[in-house]
């Protein structure tokens, strides 16, 4: 087993983060102040060097189990260029919407290594996925089984599926990002799987079940839960084999590996997780006399988050003596809703050069019309002043993908950097684009 020490998800900052001779923050030989001047703020930035490093770590960590299929969880961050990076690395994709499928197609990526997940896929989405050659669906409920079979039958095809189950495993993470406990909107409870199997084997002749899928949550720091999850899945494979005389040869354990958002975070390394998962696969296959299955994993956050950061410009301040000093940014909950949604925490620092060391505790407030629009609470910054450029680390996941036009804000641009080069991979939204779908009906003119 490979036991390399530290992996990219355990680092707070992207690789090659330093102060240059000007005193400005620099990442991948790109001056962050110059990036802010060139592309304006707020600005999403992805470091390709850091991203490629974590991709290689995942591939290296799981290479000891040749049947591993790594599928990137697109919901974390989906753009055409990001998709190309993962496709070029021979990764598959886990998608949850027609929009994510369309983005892959727009990037020239076929769907032969794509899994379609989600608890309420529409008829339109299922049809679109089948028409474009999706590899398999992770089926979430009885309604989906019925409708998917109808669509497949109408097209005279046999559609491959996995059955998503809730393994009854709870992780110590925020309630909003737990998905493996019994009380979940996702998947079949284990008490439901026999009914689902009866339908698939005896009624829904246009569906071919090849595996089971489970996902236990997100931003997970525990390790034993992955070992246990594999055990639950393979125990269910054994039970199904004994009762229905079929041996499913694929399991999908989802993703959820945590990353370092703050100095106090201590997530496991990718190698530690890989070793534990593979050890569990081998142990339980021996225990239950099963063939070793194809192993699907679905990392999302742990692949992209550490490679991303956001740049803001500081505007106004409000110092309430004896209570709190607010430092306001030109972005906030519209470009990063995570703190206001589930109290996510971040580290940040001023990117431009500062004279001396005059740190003070401040609260970074967004510009949007909500008291809950607080990006970082009680952070030590070096003499923050209007016009300073602020860098917030680890925003590569669930910031762009969850962004909104709240207060009719323009969505920020995204830049990909690599060894001194920077390129726009998502253009900043224009004012015209904000209203492009608005319609003024005749009787209001």
Q: How distant is the alpha carbon of residue 440 from its chain centre?
A: 37
Enter the DSSP assignment of 133.
T
* Max intra-chain CA distance, the chain: 75
Phi, psi of 141, rounded to the nearest 5 degrees: -165, 170
Cα dihedral 53/54/60/61 (nearest 10): 150
Q: Please give the sequence-ordered ranges of beta strands (E in DSSP) within 351-430, or none if there are none.
A: 359-365, 374-382, 389-393, 413-418, 421-426
* Tokens, residue 272: 């530690």
The distance of Cα 329 from the centroid of its chain, to the nearest Å, equals 25
Q: Which of 208, 212, 218 is nearest to 294 (CA)?
A: 212
Through-space distance between the first and last CA atoms of the chain, rounded to whole angstroms: 71
C-alpha span between 230 and 301 (Å, rounded)? 21
Q: What is the residue whose two structure tokens read 């055409």?
A: 80
Handedness of CA 89, 100, 42, 260 (dihedral sign): negative
**What residues contact 146, with CB distance under 8 A and at least 6 apart?**
199, 204
- In angstroms, the CA 154 to CA 166 distance is 30
Residue-wise DSSP of 10-77: G-SS-TTEEE-TTS-EEETTEEHHHHHHHH-SSEEEEEHHHHHHHHHHHHHHHTTSTTEEEEEEGGG-
Sign of CA dihedral 184, 201, 236, 118: negative
Between CA 345 and CA 328 the distance in angstroms is 17
Report how many helices (DSSP H) and strands (DSSP E) the chain contains, helices first.
12, 21
Active site residue 285: no
Catalytic member of 171, 305, 369, 399: 369
Task: Give Cα separations from 441 to 21, 346, 437 (angstroms).
Answer: 58, 44, 12
Residues 6+ apart with CB under 8 A from 3: 271, 272, 275
> Is residue 270 within 8 Å of residue 226, measured between CB atoms?
no
Catalytically active residues are 369
């Amino acid at each position: 087993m490979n036991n390399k020490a530290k992996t990219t998800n355990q680092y707070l900052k992207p690789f090659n983060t330093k102060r240059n001779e000007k005193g400005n923050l620099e990442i991948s030989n790109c001056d962050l102040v110059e990036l802010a001047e060139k592309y304006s703020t707020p600005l999403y930035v992805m470091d390709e060097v850091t991203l490629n490093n974590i991709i290689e770590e995942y591939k290296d960590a799981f290479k000891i189990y040749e049947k591993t299929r790594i599928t990137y969880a697109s919901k974390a961050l989906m753009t055409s260029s990001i998709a190309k990076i993962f496709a070029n690395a021979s990764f598959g994709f886990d998608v949850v919407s027609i929009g994510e499928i369309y983005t892959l197609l727009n990037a020239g990526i076929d769907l032969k290594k794509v899994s379609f997940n989600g608890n309420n896929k529409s008829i339109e989405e299922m049809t679109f996925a089948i028409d474009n050659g999706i590899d398999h669906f992770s089926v979430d409920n009885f309604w989906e089984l019925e409708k998917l079979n109808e669509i497949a039958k109408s097209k005279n095809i046999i559609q491959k599926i996995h059955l998503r189950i809730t393994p009854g495993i709870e992780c110590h993470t925020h309630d909003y990002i737990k998905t493996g406990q019994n009380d979940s909107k996702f998947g079949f409870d284990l008490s439901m799987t026999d009914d689902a199997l009866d339908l698939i084997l005896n009624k829904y002749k246009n569906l071919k079940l090849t595996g089971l899928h489970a996902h236990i949550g997100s931003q997970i720091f525990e390790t034993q839960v992955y070992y246990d999850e594999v055990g639950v899945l393979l125990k269910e494979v054994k039970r199904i084999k004994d009762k229905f005389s079929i041996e499913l040869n694929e399991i999908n354990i989802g993703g959820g590996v945590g990353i370092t958002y703050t100095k106090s975070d201590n997530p496991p390394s990718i190698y530690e997780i890989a070793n534990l998962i593979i050890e569990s696969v081998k142990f339980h296959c021996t225990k239950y006399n099963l063939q070793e299955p194809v192993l699907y994993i679905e990392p999302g956050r742990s692949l992209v988050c550490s490679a991303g950061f956001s740049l803001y410009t500081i505007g106004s301040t409000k110092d309430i003596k004896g209570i709190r000093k607010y430092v306001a940014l030109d972005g906030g909950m519209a470009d990063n809703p995570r703190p206001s949604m589930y109290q996510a925490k971040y580290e940040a620092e001023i990117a431009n050069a500062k004279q001396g060391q005059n740190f003070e505790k401040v609260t970074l407030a967004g510009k949007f019309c909500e008291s809950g629009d607080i990006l970082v609470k009680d952070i030590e910054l070096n003499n923050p002043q209007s016009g300073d450029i602020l860098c917030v680390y680890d925003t590569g996941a669930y910031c762009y993908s969850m962004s909104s036009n709240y207060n009719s804000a323009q969505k920020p641009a995204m830049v990909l950097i690599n060894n001194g080069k920077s390129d726009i991979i998502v253009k900043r939204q224009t004012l015209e684009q904000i209203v492009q779908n608005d319609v003024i009906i005749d009787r209001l003119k």
